[in-house]
Amino acid sequence: MTLQIPKEEWGNFFDDLTRRRFEWKTHLEVFSSEIGDQILSDGLPLKGVTFEVRGGKEVVEVLLGKSTDDHQTHNIFNTESVQFLPNEGDGGGILEIEESDGTKTLVRLIEPMPLKKGYGAYWTAGA
């Protein structure tokens, strides 16, 4: 079920999402009637999502990256709605941020693969 996040909760929601999904891999896309579907990044880890007021303008900022040489910051202005669709059972999900002109930014959060049980025993068995 898609969760509609009320505007007064955006800051706390993004802080919590960042804390719970920090370093998870992402897939970032933007959908717009002017430019169509654009993939901005695939596989970069989540560093954070914030909601701030800068110079009288509200901005949602999505920060992704592995290092200072391999990173991306995506700013979203004139945000109308924030929704989150959690995946059933795997902890991932999709964050959808819609602007007043209808442009949508989708951030797919991909849960890291857990280590298999007994993995450590495999390496010590022949030692």
What is the number of other CB atoms lying within 10 angstroms of the CB of residue 41? 17
**Enclosing domain of residue 115:** 3-125
pLDDT in tens, 13-63: 999 999 999 999 999 999 998 888 999 999 999 999 999 988 888 999 999
Q: Where residue 71 sits, what CATH number does that domain have?
A: 2.70.180
Number of domains in the chain: 1
Report d(CA 10, CA 8) in Å as an integer.
6
What average pLDDT score do residues 102-117 get? 84
Report d(CA 36, CA 30) in Å as an integer.
8
